[in-house]
Chains A and B, each alone.
Chain A
Amino acid sequence: MSQNADVHVVAPEMAVSFLKGIMPFDSLDDATLNDLARHCRVDFYPKGTRLLTTGETEITHLYLIQRGGVKAFIKDEQGEVTLKDFRGVGAYIGALGIIRGTPANLNIETVEDTFCFLLPREIFLKLVAQEPTFAHYYLKSFSEKIVTTAYNELRHHKVSKRSGDDLYLFSVRVGDLVKSLRKVSSASSIQQAAASMAEFRVGSLLVYDPMNEEDIVGIITDRDLRGKVVAAGLDYNLPVKEIMTSPVQSVLSQSLCFDVLLKMMGTSIHHLAVERGGRVIGVVTSHDIMLLQGHSPYYLFKEIRGQQEFSGLYVLAQKIPEVIRSLIKEGAKAGNITQMIAILNDHILERMLTLLEEELGPPPVPYCWLLMGSEGRREQTFKTDQDNAILYADPVNAEEKSAAESYFKKFAAKAIDHLVNCGYPLCPGEIMAINPKWCQPLSVWKGYFSHWIDAPDPAELLHATIFFDFRSGFGDSNLARELRRHLNKKARAKDIFLFHLARQCMSTRVPLSFFKNFIVNRDGEHKNQLNIKHQGLTPFVNFARVLALKHGISETNTLARLKALFAGDFLDQELWAAANDAYELQMQQRLIHQLAQIEEGVLPDNHINPEQLSDLERRMLKEAFAVIERLYSVLDKMYPVA
């Protein structure tokens, strides 16, 4: 009978390999796993089965999900249901209750047909007591749950001021930073103003109209005193009015510090008036915000602005990922992060081209450095390929024409080199200013767009779409505006062009369902991975572009386009909100994915392995894909095939 016994003690391979594949069981040796597996039972719960009920269910075993998924939720006295979590294959249920010896703290219900391994409570407790990794794992994951919840709430703008030193950029309202209002009459002398600044130890004063103290007409700062008065040898007895900056840029007191910082960096204005209920209550400075934030994007921004050497810019550009990393860790939303990336990149570009102009001398005609594609939409992640072009004013004669051609040729070649040194890779499709085709005067550029719109060739259009997202990166932005005007005027009336664009948009396949049945790449290097850019984000970008062109909206940023479409009543509120959230969520996923790659020293890409996502992430991603279907049906109705 000994052989009989042998047969019975061997656990089936599938049970052992299942346990081996989940944390923290993977740390156990084979003999222990084998023994554990033999103590398990397997149960099946059809979709919709309640496994645990808060405060009631005594937990007799740990559930390990082998197939399917569950949701965890709480229900308050009013019967209001709050979803806490989704858990899928490999996740556990009931550990906290077993460890604390309390009934279930959450309601658990299966959301799919679910198979679970059941590990008896006593055996699980023995493991927790004997294996330090077990206790550590479960306790740690409880606190991670809290973090996940925090992230979720952040996504829904629910975070208000909270203790702890993280998240302040996103939790502190600028109104909370404002100190008492210091102001001066516009008729006061410069010297009087300087004296009160010294007395109150402030770097700026708001300036009011002598007729009405509530009417803030301008602002003066330390810098004004230095630059406009002392350095210029101006008479100290002149009224403040002569040197004040007017009107004052203001922000609302309930604005988040992060948004205010973005505004300061975007406009290069360091002092902003803070308004509450239509009244100015004080001034907030970049310094005030800096104090909140130990190492911030702002430091980097300032260093870029002050940089005098190309080599210095190379170094600073490499610091961008580090700054972005801290923003992601603070829980910044993807839309904000990409905006921040765009601002920092723009400043690198601005500084570099300014230095280049100093080196090569002023350009013979005004020009505008155009940014295309994701840069044009202010949606770059860490390092995206260069997509740029030069647009210059039409030369008036042959001489000017040849001067412009040779200047911009040289200019572009140097600029592209510097950008490469900063870590922005070359565009494989050669959509760069160095390509003579994309370094042209306004009239030629207008001709390009007319051609794409009037005689749309689907194959050609496919490569041209990124041009429709151009914006001015540096230089004379009037040129870019003029080109945009031309484009909007042409595109609006051209249904056949929009039709092709819409059809092209819908040709991107939507990953219909999830994971095992997620549509992922079936072969090649990125087998079983999802391309979050092409399959997840591009449909939203394309959708927003088609509708923006149709309705003459000049915005290039996808979220801004969607918002403008909603504001113009071209998109209903519900769909706008869903698209906005879904798009932002996927950008977030992509950023986090690329950040992890950068930290591992791998080149960032867009290939996400659904198996490595948390259940919550997977679930949210799945919902995001459902939105794409809805967008397509809007387009489909607008531009039917037949």
Chain B
Amino acid sequence: MIDLLHPGSWFVKSDPLLLANKKFFTGFDQGQPLSEYTFVVCDTELTGLNKKKDELVSIGAVMIRNLQIDLSSMFHCFIRPENIDPTQATLVHRITPEQLESAEPIEDVLPRFVEYIQGSLLVGHHLPLDMHFLNKATTKVMGGTLSNPGVDTMRMAQGYKRVLLGHYHEHNPREISYNLDDLGREYNLPRFKPHDALEDALQTAYLFLYLIKKFRKGGLVTLKDIFQSGRVGSFRY
């Protein structure tokens, strides 16, 4: 729409959805009880890990309201990559080449996702990676980046372990696996199929609930508490 109205413009104006989102999170209050926030736990599948070349092939997300996973509100989409290489994607993901061929392009999917996460905090396992590809896509398609604050469950898990083991433990943190699958096993969480964006998002959501409620038992009741206690999560404004 914007492009149609300003055909010659080199400056891509941010999409109104992004602007609204930005407005929402300006002066965002971290001091509310955790149950007041809405979280969107998301996971993306990619064509590869090359930050420059690779693209999103699917986005899965579940919503957490009142610190409960809301199964009525989920998001799952396949995306047709621009540089499609069918043989590559099927190796890791549970996505068939046919599914990718018939999927929608990123231009159609992304605005719906941005609408879905409106006003929510983003949660992901090793979230910076997902954010990189999401922001790359929003910049291209919608002319701006996401303003949603993010929480990284991997860093939460590291913080939780620090709290559990104490600061002086001699354990080399590198020896501990923070892989989503390994954490699920360690905490005896219900298990999901890996390498499916929606299933991984659910797995991450279970991990998030587990960690945040375990933290809460220790008296950490606000977002700020959690952030400060273990330097957990990557917050951006």
A interface residues with partner B (beta carbon < 8 Å): 1, 3-4, 7-8, 10-15, 37-46, 66-67, 113, 115, 118, 516
Contact = CB atoms under 8 A, between A and B. Distances in A.
Nearest to A11: B71
Given A15-B71, A42-B206, A43-B69, 5 more contacts: A4-B112, A12-B198, A38-B72, A42-B71, A42-B209
A115 B189 contact: yes
Most chain A C-beta atoms within 10 Å of own C-beta, residue among B71, B192, B198: B71
B68 A3 contact: no
Interface residues of B, number: 30
B23 interface: no
Contacts of A113: 187-188, 210
A311 B213 CA distance: 69
25 contacts: A1-B112, A8-B73, A8-B74, A11-B71, A12-B62, A12-B202, A13-B199, A14-B202, A37-B71, A38-B72, A39-B71, A40-B71, A42-B69, A42-B71, A43-B68, A44-B210, A44-B213, A45-B213, A46-B213, A46-B214, A67-B189, A67-B190, A115-B189, A115-B190, A115-B209
Given A44-B210, A118-B68, A8 B75 contact: yes
A22 to B, nearest CB: 14
B236 interface: no
Which 4 pairs from chain A and chain B are nearest by CB? A42-B69, A44-B209, A41-B68, A43-B68
Nearest to B210: A44
A41 B75 contact: no
A204 B110 CA distance: 97
A225 B202 CA distance: 84
A125 B226 CA distance: 39
A520 to B, nearest CB: 17
Interface of B: 62, 65, 67-77, 104, 112, 187-190, 192, 198-199, 202, 205-206, 209-210, 213-214, 217
Nearest to A68: B188
B206 A115 contact: yes
- Determine which residue in A1, A4, A12 has the highest number of CB atoms from chain B within 10 A of its CB, and name it: A12
A44 B209 CA distance: 6
B75 A42 contact: no
A1 B77 CA distance: 12
A586 B95 CA distance: 49
A486 to B, nearest CB: 55
A66 B190 contact: yes
B217 A46 contact: yes
Contacts of A46: 213-214, 217
Contacts of A8: 73-75
B74 A14 contact: no
Contact of B76 (A10, A38, A118): A10
B71 A43 contact: no
A4 B116 CA distance: 11
